[in-house]
Amino acid sequence: MTERVSVDDFWAGCRAELPQLPETLPEAWAFGATPAHADELLALVLAGVKTGTASSLWDYQESGDPLPQEGEFSIILDGEGAPRAVIETTRIRTIPFDEVDAEHAHAEGEGDRTLAHWREVHERYWRNHSENPRGYEPDMPVVCERFRLLYPPAASVAARR
């Protein structure tokens, strides 16, 4: 079991190894809607498989949370809320759900990585976990985000296996 560190201490440790990171603490968040889902998706990020994610624009509007921006950093939490990774957003596109392409579905790294799987899983997710009353619509606006893993470095993740 890994010792639990605070988000502030985790960021300080990341900055010690990657001094180009800014002093300002970035937003910390977890993928998915459940602790198990957060852990599953985090494992894909750490393995270098997951380099993309998608969010409902309607959910951002409902929650008032700011939209992700290219060049920003995020601390990714595990299912218990512990900080485990730092990513940098490299690209943002907002497009209708039914226009998300196979390349983005593959970048999300889930299941068999096909567009059909992506559509099935994300429709179900937004029908069950959306933060807004509209839930899911075939033409709903989806924020497609691409990112790169900065910390832990891929070599250190591979060495721990």
pLDDT in tens, the chain (161 residues): 456 899 999 999 999 999 999 999 999 999 999 999 999 999 999 999 999 999 999 999 999 999 999 999 999 999 999 999 999 999 999 999 999 999 999 999 999 999 999 999 999 999 999 999 999 999 999 999 999 999 998 655 555 55
**Residues in CB range of 96: below 8 A, 6 or more apart:** 138, 139, 140, 141, 142
Give all domains of the chain, ordered by start, each with its CATH number.
7-150 (3.10.400.10)
Phi and psi at residue 55, to the nearest 5° = -135, 155
d(CA 80, CA 47): 19
